Homo-oligomer: A and B are copies of this chain.
Amino acid sequence: MRAELVAVGTELLLGQIVDRHSAFLSKELSQLGIDVFFHTSVGDNWGRLKEIVETAVSRSDLVIFTGGLGPTEDDLTKETVAEVLDVPLVEHPPSAEVLERLFSERGLSVPPSNYKQALMFDGGTVFPNPNGTAPGVAISRDGVTCVLLPGPPTELYPMFEAHVRSYLESIRPDHEVVVSKVLRFFGIGESHLVERIDDLIRNQDNPTIAPLAKEGEVTLRLTAKANTRQQAEAIIAPVKESILQSVGRYVYGEDEESLERVLVTALAQQNRTVSLAESCTGGLLNHMITSVPGSSAVFQGGIVCYTDEVKKSMLDVSPDILAGPGAVSMETAQALADGALRRLGSDFALSVTGVAGPEPAEGKPVGLVYLGLAERNQPTRTYRLNLSGSREKIQIRAAKQALYILLERLKKGEATNEAI
């Protein structure tokens, strides 16, 4: 089944918003085994929209539109598709009733212009919209199915979950399914990773193997096609096993997991707590950990110590260290981790100090970062990183490396060092 996506709205062409819907829908369609061949964005303009609809229905079996279902004269998607497919629009009484209820709840009568939102394709399938005034609607004609969905994300995503996915499953001509498994790596660069599994990548077919590097992490996406989910999973399993045998020590998680989520889970399983002392990452590491629901069980607290005074007063870094090796040093990283462990009363403490940029500091270059890992009744370890990129990238990479060091400690007692 050949599909394409059309996003309608002049705001897209002005760059006022980014089209995220096409990526969302593409991912969903790929899971359903439906190939997507084109994305198009077009403005709220009758002539150009009509040109796009004509092209789309001539080359694809399924066209999914987002946007242009509002009540104004600029909202033209339904009207244009009706014209191109030559299907009349007729009033859909349940949708009209919803409109009337929505407005009467606010003490208003329905403005005449809004009634056009209750017009639906004759013979179409209507998807109710509990979050707005524009229902979704699908219509099949001459072997082509057009699906029209509202543009606001708070309306589109719930509608897709509730109605559209199962509708698309019902119209799929065959039942080929596509299953993806994502392996998440840290501590190894993309080129090294790809080198080590070169033979698998070279001979890939089903599953395909797609590497992607992002913010210091690398992912491998294995995607298999088969008649059933079970068969697809069975096709992926041996390839995944080969990858794990070769580079499994760098895998920290799968699918939608993140370093912070895996770390919080590992700490909870071992019933241990962590605290933080952050200088150059300025709160990012705290925020990453606390963004995980349930982190309160394992996270004691953190100190963001931007100034020397706070490093001294809140974390007991000695004036000698700050005057000697300086705030960006192995010694300070160690003292910060020790101070956080003692002051915040946790089982582990992580520290970060470095130069995030944009300017060098203490005569030290941008990207030089020291990490500390303190542990009750154990010697404190320190790590030195040379990171590159913008201030934001350096902060993210340093924070992820800190998460990874503790995760490795929890997993096998010692961090791997390749990425450092």
User: Which chain A residues have a beta carbon within 8 Å of chain B's beta carbons?
Assistant: 7, 11-20, 22-30, 36-43, 45, 48, 52, 55, 210, 212, 221, 275-276, 278, 281-291, 293, 295-296, 299-307, 309-310, 313-314, 343-345, 357-359, 391-392, 395
| Known contacts A19-B19, A299-B306, A301-B306, A287 near B293 by CB under 8 Å | no
Nearest Cβ in chain B — how far from A45, in angstroms?
Answer: 8
- 9 new A-B contacts, CB < 8 A, other than A40-B40, A293-B391, A295-B306, are A15-B25, A15-B30, A16-B212, A276-B304, A282-B295, A286-B287, A299-B306, A300-B307, A301-B307
B26→A37 contact, CB < 8 A: no
Q: CB < 8 Å: which of B11, B18, B26, B359 contacts A12?
A: B26
Min C-beta distance of A285 to chain B, whole Å = 7
| Prevailing SS type, chain A contact patch | mixed
Bound complex: CA of A19 vs CA of B309, how far in Å?
45
Which residues on B sit within 8 Å (CB–CB) of A284?
Answer: 283, 287
- Distance from A22 Cβ to chain B, minimum over Cβ atoms (Å): 7
Let me know if A314 and B314 touch, CB within 8 A: yes
Q: Which of chain B's residues have a CB closer than 8 A to the CB of A37?
A: 13, 42-43, 45, 48
Given known A-B contacts A26-B15, A42-B37, A304-B302, A293 and B358 have beta carbons under 8 A apart: yes
Q: A14 vs B32: C-alpha distance in the bound complex, in angstroms?
A: 12
Contact B39 A210 (CB under 8 A): no
Other-chain contact of A282, B55, B290, B307, B392 (Cβ < 8 Å): B290
16 residue pairs bridging A and B, Cβ less than 8 Å apart? A13-B39, A19-B22, A37-B45, A38-B40, A282-B286, A283-B304, A286-B286, A291-B392, A293-B358, A293-B391, A299-B306, A300-B309, A301-B304, A310-B344, A313-B344, A313-B345
A12 contacts across to B, CB distance below 8 A:
22-23, 26, 39
Q: In the assembly, what is the distance between CA of A19 and CA of B40, in Å?
A: 11
B306 x A290 contact (CB < 8 A)? yes
In the complex, chain B residues whose CB is within 8 Å of the CB of A281:
287, 290
B291 contacts A287, CB within 8 Å? no
Known: A282-B286, A314-B344. A41 touches B42 (CB 8 A): no
Interchain residue pairs A-B with the least CB separation, the first 10: A282-B290, A283-B286, A15-B27, A15-B26, A301-B310, A283-B287, A39-B41, A302-B304, A283-B283, A15-B23
B18/A20 in contact, CB under 8 A: yes
Q: Chain B residues near A304 (CB, 8 Å)?
A: 276, 283, 286, 290, 301-304
- The CA-CA distance from A307 to B395 in the complex, in Å, is 25
Nearest CB in chain B to that of A392: its residue = B291
Interchain nearest-CB distance for A112 vs B (Å): 17
Which residues of the other chain, B, contact A293 by a CB distance below 8 angstroms?
A: 357-359, 391
Q: Is the beta-carbon distance between A19 and B23 smaller than 8 angstroms?
A: yes
For the complex, give the distance between the alpha carbons of A281 and B290 in Å: 8
A357, closest chain B residue (CB): B293
